[in-house]
Amino acid sequence: MNFDYQVFFMDGMTVNEAITENEDGSFTIFINSNLCDSKKLKSINHAIRHITGRDFEKENVQEIENSAHQ
């Protein structure tokens, strides 16, 4: 699966990462800038698993998180 994405490191986040799907089909990944480097990388990988898992098409949050953590 090919997709375009950009990553922004943001201050003041209360979660490790957040993802938005943009109008053009690309994705923006927001990463908590207060995380250590290894947690930043894990958060980016976690976000990419959500994108490749097509989680934006699903409704069950528990199912989405379970599959993203496998």
Whole-prediction pTM: 0.79
Query: Which of 60, 68, 70 is closest to 19 using CA atoms?
Result: 68
Give whole-number Cα distances, 35 to 5, 7, 9, 32, in Å: 20, 14, 10, 6
Q: What percent of the chain has pLDDT over 90?
A: 64
Structural domain span for residue 15: 5-68
Q: How many domains does the chain have?
A: 1
Q: What is the pLDDT of residue 53?
A: 84
Each residue's pLDDT expressed in tens, for the chain with a length of 70 residues:
678 999 999 999 999 999 999 999 999 999 999 999 999 999 999 999 889 888 777 665 565 565 555 5
- Cβ count within 10 A of residue 47: 23
Q: What is the pLDDT of residue 2?
A: 77
Structure-block tokens of residue 25:
């089909």
